[in-house]
Amino acid sequence: MAENMIIADAKLEMWGYALGFTPTALVKCAIDLQIADVLESHGGSMTLADLSAAVNCSPPVLRRIMRYLVHRLFFKQTTTSYSLTPLSRLLIRNDPDSMAALVLLESTPAMLAPWQRLSLRARQAEGSPFEDEHGRDLWDYTNANAAHSKLLDDAMSCVATATAVAIVDQYPEAFEGITSVVDVGGGDGTALRILGKAFPWIHGINFDLQHVVGVAPPCDGVEHVAGNMFEAVPKADAAFLMSVLHDWNDEECIEILRKCKEAIKTKVMIVEAVIREEEESKYSDVRLALDMVMLAHTSGKERSLEEWEFVVKAAGFSSFTVNHMDAIAALIEAYP
């Protein structure tokens, strides 16, 4: 009897894995229909009839979609209306804390297709399922596809906002005595805008490829500079790399870090997840899932403390410190 219950529970869990894409698909559907935006613009609460009319959706179909999203805590339901929750507020597109762009990026056909090739990746030492699927790596694909480039930039802006705010709140001392910072792979400059507001004495250099910085919005105190981090990095007191090195293999990381070391006076700040297999925290699942995303889409990986020590020391840095935060990422400071 006990063995049958164990098997039954395992089957139920397997049902969850088999249907695992359902939550992502429904969240994307909610974003596409702008359900959270419409609720927000109508005071945060609407009846099914009013919501259906506002999003131009069939009431019976919308009721079924909302039933699932209510069950997953994206919305609240009373006998007469639906309303927002902390989760659904993150889907409001013009909200500074919105994570809608990240969901939209990861649910595109271009990003989903490589997952079907993950088993093949397990049998090869190099490359990525993304490259196998599209005939070019993620960066060449993005460079050639303006729409995908915009999705990627917007998604990375979501990540940068959350992580930069955590650094400002938890480790402001990291920027004491720093007068200039080059954000290597800084995208649209989101991180530097947040850091510059918190530390107005800093001159920021947002450094990325031409097709990225060419469309980055202007910002006081931030200079947009185009270039290739594998060739040279602009000079500054410190270099800042957020969610960059996990995209690259060890040899590539070492080369990027060497270019940063040549450019800086004080230190290189690396903002990345640190995998701690013995740790069970609210961030553990996200960190391990990110490692699988790297496996599917890039040549990189999320690294353990020992793996970070290897690439930092191999790049010629004499020492480094790891500052764990109440966040997905940690702040690693490497000193020449």
Catalytic residue positions, numbered? 246, 272, 302
Distance set, CA 16 to CA 10, 27, 99, 311 (Å): 10, 17, 24, 38
Is the backbone of residue 322 left (phi > 0), alpha (psi -120 to 50) or beta?
beta
Q: What angle do CA 90, 91, 94 make, to 5 degrees?
A: 90
Phi, psi for residue 333 in degrees, rounded to 5: -110, 120
Rg of the chain, C-alpha, whole Å: 22
Q: Indicate the DSSP class of residue 118.
A: H
Report strand pairing: 180-184 vs 264-272: unpaired
What is the length of the chain?
Answer: 336
Bridge partners (DSSP) of residue 283 are none
Nearest to 158 by CA among 328, 320, 325, 288: 328
Report strand pairing: 274-275 vs 303-304: parallel
Report strand pairing: 303-304 vs 319-324: unpaired
Contact (CB, 8 A) for 331 and 173:
no
Three-state SS at 318: coil
230/157 Cα distance (integer angstroms): 22
Distance of CA 73 to the CA centre of its chain: 22
Nearest to 261 by CA among 281, 241, 289, 287: 241
Q: Indicate the DSSP class of residue 139.
A: H
